A = this chain, B = another copy of it.
Amino acid sequence: MIQVGVNGYGTIGKRVADAVAAQPDMVLRGVAKRSPNHEAESAVKREYDLYAADPDRTDEFEAVGLPPAGTLSDLLADVDVVVDCCPAGVGAQNRDIYDAHDVRVVFQGGEDATVADASFTARTAFETARDADAVRVVSCNSTGLARLLAPVAESFGVETARVTLIRRGGDPAQTDRGPINDIVPDPVGLPSHHGPDVNTVLPGVDVDTAALKAPVTAMHTHSVNVTLETTPTADEVRRLLADESRLFLIPEGAGIDGAGALKEYAMDLGRPRGDLWENCLWGESVHVSGRDLYLFQNVHQEADVVPENVDAIRAMATDTAAAESMATTDQALGVGLESRLDTDTELPDSITADD
């Protein structure tokens, strides 16, 4: 059993903790957090051992009735791998303490690629983690693009991919984030850094990206164009993508018109926190004109990297093959959406008691 700790128990950390705890070959030894807020309380309610990430703040945990099991150092002494889910940039500051405890570490995509020996997605870069002391799971957007472009490149060849990323402004509880009432080019300089980030896990595929921020919180939306090297039909593209376990082709008849309905779908399925671990692609958006492929996909910024973190742990700590690891992760989490709805029906009823 792989002994795993999670440092940082926010949006990503709490999901990674749950995912690790669900794996048959991993033990979640505990989670470390800086401040004792409602998320810290929820960790205790889930019976996770809670550690104080900042040893100078253990008294704050005790003051609110959440006495920590120890400090981050205590947690690191017990684990084979730590997953760093701290805010962007804080991970790099933590590198020294991880090295001091001689633990392998998985960083998140908010860190610079130089923080780790390799960047990671399970679909495209599993083997890069084999001998690494530290890997970085690329960001939610890069993960979503690599998952999409890898099978397209393998089957149809990619001359150039051009993607507009319409990004969510913040996560649902981040009320202090913008933008409000605007769509802001960010960064305004083109192309954006997202393309090169995709290349850290999918080298050799030419991809230009343009990114903006919108006043939404549920998901990112990608408007994708790929100039292919061949001329498949749209149905051939759909069938290829439908075979990928971490891609979900939204059926035309489902009445799912955006991120709100996608989250509703996930919550109706009983998904924890309404999480969508899969890229969500509109099947009817897939269009091929000559060698140009077009489609829309959504990426759940809180969730899509979670199975990737699990696979990164397994890639570093075992000799499990990529396909086997992904299958184990997916089965333990419940990744993989299937719908029998594939024909045109009406839009959903609007059934709500009046307010």
- Residues of A participating in the B interface, judged by any CB pair closer than 8 Å: 8-14, 33-39, 41-42, 45, 60, 63-66, 85-88, 108-110, 137, 139-141, 167-168, 171-175, 180-181, 217-218, 220, 253-258, 260-261, 263-265, 267-270, 272-274, 301-302, 305, 339-343, 345-355
Contacts of A261 in B (CB 8 A): 38, 173, 175
Q: Cβ of A173 and Cβ of B260 under 8 Å apart?
A: yes
Q: Cβ of B255 and Cβ of A167 under 8 Å apart?
A: no
A174 touches which of B8, B64, B260, B263 (Cβ 8 Å): B260
Copies in the complex: 2
Q: Cβ of B353 and Cβ of A268 under 8 Å apart?
A: no
Contacts of A64 in B (CB 8 A): 253, 340-343, 345
Task: Report A15 CB to chain B, min CB distance, Å.
Answer: 10
Distance in angstroms between the alpha carbons of A67 and B182 in the assembled complex: 45
Q: Cβ of B349 and Cβ of A35 under 8 Å apart?
A: yes
Give the interface SS of chain A, mostly helix, strand, loop or mixed.
loop
Q: Given contacts A172-B264, A268-B273, A273-B267, are A254 and B37 in contact (CB under 8 A)?
A: yes
Task: Please indicate which of the listed interface residues A9, A181, A253, A268 has the most CB atoms of chain B within 10 Å of its own CB.
Answer: A268
Q: Cβ of B340 and Cβ of A65 under 8 Å apart?
A: yes
19 pairs from A and B in contact (CB 8 Å cutoff): A33-B349, A37-B345, A37-B346, A38-B348, A41-B254, A41-B341, A64-B343, A85-B351, A86-B351, A88-B352, A108-B353, A108-B354, A172-B260, A172-B263, A173-B261, A180-B181, A267-B272, A270-B272, A301-B352
Task: Report A14 CB to chain B, min CB distance, Å.
Answer: 7
Task: Report A7 CB to chain B, min CB distance, Å.
Answer: 10
Q: Given contacts A64-B340, A64-B342, A139-B355, are A349 and B41 in contact (CB under 8 A)?
A: no
Q: Cβ of B272 and Cβ of A274 under 8 Å apart?
A: no
